[in-house]
Structures are given as structure tokens and as C-alpha cells.
Structure 1
Amino acid sequence: MIVRPRPHWLRMLFVWRGSVLSDIAPQLLWTTAFAVLVTVLHGRLFQWKVPLNFVPFSLIGLTLAIFLGFRNSTSYSRYWEARTLWGTLLNETRTLVRQALTLADAPSEATTPAMRLIAFVHALRHQLRGTDPSADLARLLPGEDSARLRAARFKPAMLLLMVGEWLRDQRQQGRLDPTLAQGMEHPLGRLTEALGGCERIAGTPIPFTYSVIIHRTIYLYCVLLPFGLVDAIGPMTPVVVAFIAYTFFALEALGAEIEEPFGTQPNDLALDAMSHTIESTVREMLGEPQAVLSPMAGRAGYIQT
């Protein structure tokens, strides 16, 4: 995810990174080149004049814009829900660590659940992205915890179980009042809900038929558009086609990108920064040195939850 100050309006016109222009450049250039060819041939295809004007494109364009708006709204809803769930991770992790430090009779042992919670956040990030969490788990957990997780398929869920086991042990040893232990189960339960919500978003994409319908309609629209404009605007046809094609191609690409908010593309969620932000705030509560963040990673991590 790109997080930076909003550039000047003039620079905004030429910004490249994060604009999805690199993703749509080939089809945009091809569409523009085809519009130039249609303009040169004045709408003729093998000596046959294609009988089109701008009227059907006005009707189809309006419908296509509404359909694209629905698709992008659905994609953004998934994106924002994912961001809200990661805000929940930050809030409930802080709550659990604070309770472990202030409610238990042995606050020095709060390091164990705190490090397991940090490992949970990093393990969730790796699970959502399909990457290997071994390095982060080995860095954060003692050998016996790492060995226990090695064979686990759903490592974030196992880490929450281990935090719950710590609560059980503290209660059984008389270091935590049963009523207080029950209260600490509430933020732990909300972490479980956030985990399930992230897994649901990652495992349930928008139905494929939406993408197919929009993709086919956009390309047919942009290929036929120069035939409907060439008689009305002549040499300006490639310019108008390029502008309209850019709008439709970019909206389609953006919707596809934010539909899966846990990836590593420029407009996806800044999971690395948010994970390190949670680690930093927990370590600070424990009185340990904070994890080092780059300025932009820190900016991305401290988004309002």
C-alpha cells in the first residue's frame, strides 16, 4: 500500500506508481492504435463502411459505468472490512497485553502471551499472503513454541489457543482471579472473530462471472467505439477513445486489485507496516526496544483504527 502526502495537482496528473497505468498500458496502447487505424480508414472494414454512430455507445456506456461502479463498491467494501479487522487486531492485542500486565499477580510473565500475540499477527499476515512465517516465528517464540507450531496448518488459530492456555495456567496457579480471566477471554474471542473475518475475505472472492461480464463488455465497447465516433469527430477519435478506454480499463484493474486486499500490490493493505506497528506498541508496553520502522512504514502503520 502506498501512503504518502497528497501531491500537487499538477504532479497528480503524471504520477505513475499506484495508478494501475503500468497494468493497463499494453491494452490501452493497442486500443488507441486500433482507433488510429479506424480513423485513417474512415470507419471502413474491407471496403465495408461500419454503420455505427455515438447513440448506442451512450446507452451502453451509462450501463457499463453503473456496473463498474457496483463492482468497485463491492471491492472497496471488502478492502475496508479487511482494514477494520486489522484495526481490531491492534486494539484487542493492546487490551490483552495491558490486562496481562495489570490484572495478573505475576506481570513479569506477561511476556509469554505478548510475544505469542505478536507472533499471531505476523503468522496471520503470512497465512493471508501464502508466505512462510518460519523466520518471524523463530524470532519471536521460544524453541518449544516454534516446534509446536511447525506441524500446525492454521498457525494463527494455534497461537490464540496458546494464549488461552496461558490464561488457564495463570488461573489454575492462583495468579489470576477466575472472574478476571473470564473478562480477558472477551478480547481473545474478538481476535478469533477478526481471524475468521480475514480468512473469509481471503477465501471468498467476488463471483468470477462479474469479472468476465465486465471484461468482455469493456473490450467490445472500446474496440467498436472508434467506428461510432469517426464520422462525428474525425481526427480526434483516437484521443477520445484513449481517454474513455483509460477510464474503463483503470476502473476494472483497480476493482480487481483491491478485491484481494491482503496482497502486495501498491493499492493493497500495508500489512507489513501494520504488523510491525502492533509489534512496536506491544514491545513498548513491555518496556522493550521497539521494532525499527522506516518512516513510510510507520506512516502506513499508524492509520486510525
Structure 2
Amino acid sequence: MIVDAAPRLSQIVREVWKPLLILAVWDVIVTIAYFVLPFKAPSLPLTLFGSALALFLGFRDNSAYQRWWEGRVLWGAMINASRSLSRAARNFMPQPEARDLRRSIVLRQVAYVNALRCQLRRQDRDAEVLRFLSKGEAEPALARANAANGLLDGTGRRIADAMRNGWIDTIQQTQMEAVLVDIANAQGGMERIKNTPLPNQYRFFPTFFTHLFCILLPIGLVESLGYATPLGSTIAGLMFLAILQIGDDLVDPFANTVHDVPLTAMCRTIEIDLLQSIGDPAPQPVTPERGILW
């Protein structure tokens, strides 16, 4: 996620430079053609087309931002639920003989959020899980297609073991299971966002009409701008291409790009809070790199 307050025009240009270069060349061709073979083009249809396109792109960007923000809200809920699970394990099972089980539940939750982060970003999950769990404890979950859900199931079994051992009662078990339900619901929401793209119409038509508008733009402007058409048309085209790119950047909040929801930083927050809750040393928070928080 870009957290730098300074404008990042260079980032936008890097993302749209190819169609922008083609547009600039086209603008020059149209300008030369106008002075060789003068023609007239009505400006009103282009104005109406541009206004309609701006509304269309704005609606698409709002839809993309809603997905991005929902992803951020779900990860905020995951942070809260992780803290609640750790607190319940610590306070419900103060017995010395339950120490290993308490510790296992907390470490499994840290491993769980890191496994979920890797699954959403399509990265290798095994190494992250094995940072917190032994190979024997991690293997049953890693053998499953959804390792994060496997870790969560294992945590549920350990809570049931605590109840059978008499370390918690059924009410406390129910409360801890309710936290696991909240965690599972958050994971399901994240997977829905990741696995369900925007409908094809939201992706194809804005791209098609934006490129069509950029093609028509110099034809409608050359009569009034003259030799300045390549500059004016390219700048106007840049605005529409940038708006189109914003929707592409935000539509997948777990794509592991600079526009991503900062999953690494949030997993580190959970790791710090939970490790400190059981008295283990914790790493430092993730800090922005060149204005980007991963």
C-alpha cells in the first residue's frame, strides 16, 4: 500500500506508458494529417462521450475501491479476533499444566494468519508456517489444499482437548469457538474477494471505450488546438488512462503489488501482539519502504 503523501505521478506514468506512447504517436499523426488535408470534426459528440465515459469509469473505480476496502475491513476483524483468541487462551487456561496447549493455540494462530496471507497472494506458505510450528505439528495442515483452514481446524481440536481435560468449561469452549467462527467468516470473505473477479463487463467495456475515446480525442481537438494537439490530447488521455488504471490496481486487494492491502504489516502486528501475550520475544513492526507498506 502506498503511504507516501507525495504525489506519485511517475508511478502512474510507468503503469500507463505503453498506451500513452501509442496515443502520443497517434496525436502527432492526426495533427500532421489535419494540416495536410484539413477536415472538420464536431466537438459536441466527443464532449458527451467524454462525460459519459467519466461517469462509467467513476462507477467502476468505486466498485473496485469497495472490494479493496472490504479486504482491509476483513483483515482488521482478523487482527481483533486473533487478539481475542490469545486473550481467551491465556485467561481461560491459567493452569500450569495447560501451558503447552496455550502456547500451541497462540502459535497456531500466528502461523494461520501468515499461511492465509501467502494463500491470498499465491505465495509459498510452507516456510511461513514452519517458522512457528514444528514439522510434525504443521504437516497435517500443510497436506491440505487449504492449509489455513487446516490450521484453524487443528486449533478447534485443541480447544476441545482443553475442555475434555477440564481446563475450560463448555461455556468457555463456546466462547472460544465463537472467535474461531469469526476468523473463519473473515477468511471466507477474503477468499470470496480473491476468487471472484469483477464481471467481465466491468473490465472489458471501460477499457474498450477509454481506448476508443483516446483515438477520437485528437480528431475532435485538432481544429481548436492546432500544433498543440499532441500535448493537449496526450494530457487529456493520460487522465482517462490513469482513472482506468486505478480500477485495475484496486480490484484485487491481495495481489502483492504496491496497491495491495498491507498484509505483511498486519500479519506482523498480529505476530507481535500474540507473541508478547505469551512472553516470547517479538520482532519489530514492518515499516514503509520508499513510501510503500507491504
TM-score category of the 2 structures, normalised to the smaller one: over 0.9
Q: Please, which of 71, 76, 82 is the counterpart of residue 82 of structure 1? A: 71
Matches within 5 A, 1:85-234: 85-106=74-95, 108=99, 109-234=101-226
Q: Secondary structure at the match of 2:34?
A: coil
Report what 1:73 is aligned to.
62
Cα distance in structure 1, aligned partners of 2:244 and 2:263: 24
Cα distance in structure 2, aligned partners of 1:198 and 1:50: 54
Q: Which moved more, 1:274-283 or 1:284-293?
A: 284-293
Structure 1, residues 81-104: CA drift from partner, whole Å, max 9, x if none? 000000011000000100100112
Aligned-residue RMSD, C-alpha: 1.8
Structure 1, residues 202-241: CA drift from partner, whole Å, max 9, x if none? 0100011221111111111111111111112212212221
The question of whether the paired residues in 2 share the 8 Å contact of 1:101 and 1:110 is answered with yes
Cα distance in structure 2, aligned partners of 1:229 and 1:53: 9
Q: Secondary structure at the match of 2:197?
A: coil
Report what 1:259 is aligned to.
251
Cα distance in structure 2, aligned partners of 1:149 and 1:158: 4
Q: Secondary structure at the match of 1:295?
A: coil
Following superposition, the deviation at residue 169 of structure 1 comes to 0.3
What is the letter of the counterpart of residue 16 of structure 2?
A: I
Following superposition, the deviation at residue 50 of structure 1 comes to 4.9
The question of whether the paired residues in 2 share the 8 Å contact of 1:121 and 1:275 is answered with yes
What is the letter of the counterpart of residue 63 of structure 1?
A: A
Q: Secondary structure at the match of 2:131?
A: helix
What is the letter of the counterpart of residue 61 of structure 2?
A: N
Report what 2:233 is aligned to.
241
Q: Which TM-score applies when normalising by structure 2? A: 0.93
Report what 1:274 is aligned to.
266
Following superposition, the deviation at residue 15 of structure 1 comes to 4.4
Cα distance in structure 2, aligned partners of 1:277 and 1:144: 26
The question of whether the paired residues in 2 share the 8 Å contact of 1:124 and 1:156 is answered with yes
The question of whether the paired residues in 2 share the 8 Å contact of 1:53 and 1:227 is answered with no
Cα distance in structure 1, aligned partners of 2:54 and 2:266: 34
The question of whether the paired residues in 1 share the 8 Å contact of 2:163 and 2:173 is answered with yes
Q: Secondary structure at the match of 1:266?
A: coil
Cα distance in structure 1, aligned partners of 2:91 and 2:176: 12
The question of whether the paired residues in 1 share the 8 Å contact of 2:77 and 2:186 is answered with yes
Q: Which moved more, 1:99-108 or 1:222-231?
A: 99-108
Report what 1:2 is aligned to.
2
Percent of aligned positions with the same letter in both sequences?
Answer: 31
Q: Secondary structure at the match of 2:198?
A: coil
Q: Which TM-score applies when normalising by structure 1? A: 0.90
Structure-2 change in CA distance of 1:111 and 1:42 (3 Å): same
The question of whether the paired residues in 2 share the 8 Å contact of 1:92 and 1:187 is answered with yes
Following superposition, the deviation at residue 3 of structure 1 comes to 2.1
The gaps in structure 1 that reach 5 residues or longer are: none
Structure 1, residues 140-179: CA drift from partner, whole Å, max 9, x if none? 1122222212311011111111111111000000000111
Q: Say yes or no: does 1:21 pair with 2:13.
A: yes
The question of whether the paired residues in 2 share the 8 Å contact of 1:75 and 1:258 is answered with yes
What is the letter of the counterpart of residue 192 of structure 2?
A: R
